[in-house]
Structure 1
């Protein structure tokens, strides 16, 4: 009997698993979905802005945005008629992903950013940096998505520089 997936590899879906992590991966466990959410949480709302920022193919972006909307993480909202144009707004379920995405960012800053953090997440109240535990490194207050500003860090790419496909995002 032949397996539906290679030995040692997980199947592409986790339907048979009764696990909240597996169920979450069904929604956001794909690279582009997390990068779209990263940008959405930074304020990106329009299709072409996502496409330009991510360098993602039109069909892949359309598919991922559709899936994030179906899951209730983003909401598609009409902002112009003739022609109809939509933007994508983060829902409360999407805001709840902020701690996960920021934890990934902090891990990446520590382990995958040899030139320093490419993005600084700063407490809007005092300017202190976000630290593990999602607290302010200066005043110690717990931080959420509405408490922070983001700005380029020492590891940011200069404007117009390209990132090698082999480089971590």
Structure 2
């Protein structure tokens, strides 16, 4: 198996973010945390992941400040995993992945989960990127200014 190469120092925020959350188990753990999963056994049951793999991913996400451990909310001796402010900042990433998957990976009548607004019970609208002037932006309307390394 090839060793994973780090792109932390590439000057690219996408590469750096993927170094932290770029494997699918980590993203699914974060998704489950947004859905209220908090305990090791709950993550394992939800994902069907091996204990060792789950322990490694939870440790990495905790060390990188995405999750933190807290005393169990029911007062037992267990510890729970909760999203930090940094971890909560990944909400739009998860929503964007969800919406991309809904648009491109399902047939029209295929059953799937859906995201709704708790207050109105209406489906959450598609995410859009807008410029400072309010105009909707696509990838063709943006560019990345690369860092020049000396």
Within 5 Å, give how 1:59-74 maps onto structure 2.
Answer: 59-74=52-67
Q: Distance in 2 between matches of 1:78 and 1:16?
A: 36
With normalisation by structure 1, the TM-score equals 0.67
Instruction: Give the match for residue 112 of structure 2.
Output: 118
Gaps of 5+ in 2: 129-150
Q: Distance in 1 between matches of 2:117 and 2:23?
A: 29
Q: Distance in 2 between matches of 1:71 and 1:104?
A: 21
Q: Distance in 1 between matches of 2:36 and 2:119?
A: 19
Change (3 A) 1:86 1:47: same
Gaps of 5+ in 1: 135-169
Matched residue SS, 1:77:
strand
Aligned residues: 123
Change (3 A) 1:26 1:117: farther
Structure ranking higher in helix proportion: 2
Q: Is the 8 A contact 2:9 2:16 kept in 1?
A: no
Within 5 Å, give how 1:62-141 maps onto structure 2.
Answer: 62-79=55-72, 80-81=76-77, 85-114=78-107, 115-116=109-110, 118-133=112-127
In the TM superposition, what whole-angstrom CA distance separates every residue of 1:26-48 from its partner, at most 9, and x where no partner exists?
Answer: 11000100000000000000000
Q: State which of 19, 30, 50 in structure 2 corresponds to 1:26.
A: 19
**Alpha-carbon distance, 1:118 to partner:** 1.6
Instruction: Give the match for residue 147 of structure 2.
Output: none
With normalisation by structure 2, the TM-score equals 0.76
Q: Is the 8 A contact 1:77 1:86 kept in 2?
A: yes
Within 5 Å, give how 1:38-57 maps onto structure 2.
Answer: 38-57=31-50
TM-align CA RMSD: 1.8
Structure ranking higher in strand proportion: 1
Runs of 4+ in 1 over 6 A off after TM superposition: none
